[in-house]
Chains A and B, each alone.
Chain A
Amino acid sequence: MNTASPDLVIDVRGLVKNFGRTQVLKGLDLQVNRGEVHAFLGPNGAGKTTTLRLLLGLLRSDGGSMSVLGLDPWSQAADVHRRLAYVPGDVALWPGLSGGEVIDLLGRLHGGIDQARRTELLERFDLDPTKKARTYSKGNRQKVALVAALATDAELYLLDEPTAGLDPLMEAQFKECVVQLRDAGRSVLLSSHILSEAEVLSDRVSIIRDGAVVETGTLDQLRHLTRTTVSATVARSPEGVEALTGVYAATLTGDRFTAQVDADGVAPLLAALSSAGATSLVSHPPTLEELFLSHYSEPGGAP
Chain B
Amino acid sequence: MTGTWPLVRLALRRDRILLPAWIIGLSLMVASSVTATRDLYPTRESLTSAAETINATAALVALYGKVYDPTSLGAISLIKLTAFGAAIVGIIFVFIVIRHTRAEEESGRLELIGAGAVGRAAPLTASLIVSMGASVVLGVLTALGLGAAGLAWGGAFAFGLSWALAGIVFSAIAAVAAQAMTSARAAIGVGVAAVGAAYALRAVGDLGDADPGLLSWLSPVGWSQQIRPFAGDRWWIAAVPIVATAVLVPIAYSLRARRDLGSGLVPERGGPALGTIGGVMGLAWRLQRGLFIAWALGSALMGMVLGSVAHTIAGLLNSPEMAKFFEALGGSQGLTTMFLAAEIGILGSLVGAYAIAAASRLRSEETAGHVELLLSTPATRVRWATSHLAFACVGSAIIIVITGSAIGLAHGLAIGDVGGQVPRLFAASAGQVPAALVIAGIVMLLFGVAPRMVVGAWGLLVAFIVLGEFGSLWQLPQWALDVSPFAHSPRLPGGEVDPGQLALLTGVAAVLIAVGLVAWRRRDLRP
What is the interface of chain A, defined by CB distance below 8 A to chain B? 53, 56-60, 77-79, 81-82, 84-86, 88, 90-98, 100-106, 108-111, 129-132, 134-135, 145, 158
Is A58 within 8 A of B378, CB to CB?
no
Is B273 within 8 A of A129, CB to CB?
yes
What is the interface of chain B, defined by CB distance below 8 A to chain A? 106, 182-183, 262, 268-280, 282-283, 286-287, 368-370, 372-381, 522-525
Is A103 within 8 A of B370, CB to CB?
no
**Shortest beta-carbon contacts, A-B, top 5:** A98-B271, A104-B275, A92-B369, A101-B275, A109-B377
Is A130 within 8 A of B270, CB to CB?
yes
Residues from chain B with a CB closer than 8 A to the CB of A92 are 368-370, 372-373
Selected contact of A100 from candidates B274, B279, B283, CB within 8 Å:
B274
Is A60 within 8 A of B522, CB to CB?
yes
Residues from chain A with a CB closer than 8 A to the CB of B277 are 97, 101, 104-105, 108
Is B268 within 8 A of A58, CB to CB?
no
Q: Which residue of A lies closest to B280 (CB)?
A: A109
Known contacts A86-B376, A96-B183, A105-B275: A59-B270 contact under CB 8 Å: no
Is B271 within 8 A of A101, CB to CB?
yes
Residue pairs across A and B with Cβ atoms less than 8 A apart, 22 shown, are A53-B372, A58-B372, A59-B524, A60-B522, A78-B379, A90-B369, A92-B373, A93-B370, A93-B373, A94-B287, A96-B271, A96-B286, A97-B271, A97-B275, A105-B282, A105-B283, A108-B277, A109-B279, A130-B272, A131-B270, A132-B269, A158-B376
Is B370 within 8 A of A109, CB to CB?
no
Is B522 within 8 A of A100, CB to CB?
no
Q: Which residue of B lies closest to A135 (CB)?
A: B268
Shortest CB-to-CB span from B328 to chain A, Å, is: 56
Is A88 within 8 A of B372, CB to CB?
yes
Bound together, the chains give a CA A88 to CA B376 distance in angstroms of 9
Among B280, B523, B525, chain A packs the most CB atoms within 10 A around the CB of: B525
Is B275 within 8 A of A59, CB to CB?
no
Q: Which residue of B lies closest to A133 (CB)?
A: B271
Among A84, A94, A102, chain B packs the most CB atoms within 10 A around the CB of: A94
Residues from chain A with a CB closer than 8 A to the CB of B282 are 105
Among B182, B268, B377, chain A packs the most CB atoms within 10 A around the CB of: B377
Bound together, the chains give a CA A134 to CA B273 distance in angstroms of 15
Shortest CB-to-CB span from B223 to chain A, Å, is: 35
Selected contact of A134 from candidates B183, B375, B381, B524, CB within 8 Å:
B183
Residues from chain B with a CB closer than 8 A to the CB of A111 are 378
Shortest CB-to-CB span from B79 to chain A, Å, is: 41
Q: Which residue of B lies closest to A53 (CB)?
A: B525
Bound together, the chains give a CA A129 to CA B271 distance in angstroms of 8
Selected contact of A101 from candidates B106, B272, B381, B525, CB within 8 Å:
B272
Q: Which residue of A lies closest to B182 (CB)?
A: A134
Residues from chain B with a CB closer than 8 A to the CB of A77 are 375, 380-381
Is A132 within 8 A of B270, CB to CB?
yes
Q: Which residue of B lies closest to A52 (CB)?
A: B376
Bound together, the chains give a CA A234 to CA B370 distance in angstroms of 61
Bound together, the chains give a CA A100 to CA B276 distance in angstroms of 10
Bound together, the chains give a CA A131 to CA B272 distance in angstroms of 8
Bound together, the chains give a CA A105 to CA B523 distance in angstroms of 25
Shortest CB-to-CB span from B272 to chain A, Å, is: 6
Residues from chain B with a CB closer than 8 A to the CB of A101 are 271-272, 274-277
Shortest CB-to-CB span from B452 to chain A, Å, is: 13
Residues from chain B with a CB closer than 8 A to the CB of A57 are 375
Apart from A60-B523, A108-B278: 10 A-B pairs, beta carbons within 8 A: A53-B372, A77-B381, A94-B286, A98-B272, A101-B272, A101-B277, A104-B276, A105-B283, A110-B378, A132-B269
Known contacts A109-B379, A111-B378: A100-B272 contact under CB 8 Å: yes
Bound together, the chains give a CA A92 to CA B527 distance in angstroms of 11
Is B275 within 8 A of A102, CB to CB?
yes
Residues from chain A with a CB closer than 8 A to the CB of B287 are 94, 96
Known contacts A58-B372, A91-B373: A78-B380 contact under CB 8 Å: yes
Residues from chain A with a CB closer than 8 A to the CB of B272 are 98, 100-101, 130
Shortest CB-to-CB span from B192 to chain A, Å, is: 18
Q: Which residue of B lies closest to A104 (CB)?
A: B275
Selected contact of B376 from candidates A59, A60, A81, A103, CB within 8 Å:
A81
Bound together, the chains give a CA A110 to CA B279 distance in angstroms of 10
Is B273 within 8 A of A98, CB to CB?
yes
Bound together, the chains give a CA A97 to CA B370 distance in angstroms of 12
Bound together, the chains give a CA A93 to CA B365 distance in angstroms of 10
Q: Which residue of B lies closest to A148 (CB)?
A: B373
Q: Which residue of B lies closest to A122 (CB)?
A: B273
Bound together, the chains give a CA A94 to CA B378 distance in angstroms of 19
Shortest CB-to-CB span from B224 to chain A, Å, is: 35
Q: Which residue of A lies closest to B282 (CB)?
A: A105
Shortest CB-to-CB span from A144 to chain B, Å, is: 10
Q: Which residue of A lies closest to B375 (CB)?
A: A58
Shortest CB-to-CB span from B2 to chain A, Å, is: 26
Residues from chain A with a CB closer than 8 A to the CB of B182 are 134
Q: Which residue of B lies closest to A97 (CB)?
A: B271
Is B374 within 8 A of A109, CB to CB?
yes
Is A132 within 8 A of B378, CB to CB?
no
Q: Which residue of B lies closest to A152 (CB)?
A: B377
Is B525 within 8 A of A59, CB to CB?
yes
Bound together, the chains give a CA A302 to CA B37 distance in angstroms of 68
Bound together, the chains give a CA A135 to CA B183 distance in angstroms of 11
Among A78, A103, A111, chain B packs the most CB atoms within 10 A around the CB of: A78
Shortest CB-to-CB span from A48 to chain B, Å, is: 15
Q: Which residue of B lies closest to A110 (CB)?
A: B377
Residues from chain B with a CB closer than 8 A to the CB of A129 are 273-274
Shortest CB-to-CB span from B83 to chain A, Å, is: 34
Shortest CB-to-CB span from A116 to chain B, Å, is: 14
Bound together, the chains give a CA A195 to CA B273 distance in angstroms of 35
Bound together, the chains give a CA A58 to CA B273 distance in angstroms of 30
Is A109 within 8 A of B378, CB to CB?
yes
Is A103 within 8 A of B275, CB to CB?
yes
Selected contact of B273 from candidates A81, A130, A132, A135, CB within 8 Å:
A130
Is A56 within 8 A of B375, CB to CB?
yes
Bound together, the chains give a CA A78 to CA B368 distance in angstroms of 22
Q: Which residue of A lies closest to B373 (CB)?
A: A88
Among B182, B271, B381, B524, chain A packs the most CB atoms within 10 A around the CB of: B271
Residues from chain A with a CB closer than 8 A to the CB of B270 are 98, 130-132
Residues from chain B with a CB closer than 8 A to the CB of A97 are 271, 275, 277, 286
Bound together, the chains give a CA A103 to CA B271 distance in angstroms of 13
Bound together, the chains give a CA A81 to CA B374 distance in angstroms of 10
Bound together, the chains give a CA A6 to CA B277 distance in angstroms of 36
Residues from chain A with a CB closer than 8 A to the CB of B268 are 132, 134-135
Known contacts A100-B275, A108-B278, A131-B271: A81-B378 contact under CB 8 Å: yes
Is A132 within 8 A of B271, CB to CB?
yes
Shortest CB-to-CB span from A131 to chain B, Å, is: 6
Known contacts A101-B271, A101-B275: A106-B373 contact under CB 8 Å: yes
Among B183, B275, B524, chain A packs the most CB atoms within 10 A around the CB of: B275
Bound together, the chains give a CA A136 to CA B275 distance in angstroms of 17
Q: Which residue of B lies closest to A105 (CB)?
A: B277
Residues from chain B with a CB closer than 8 A to the CB of A132 are 268-271
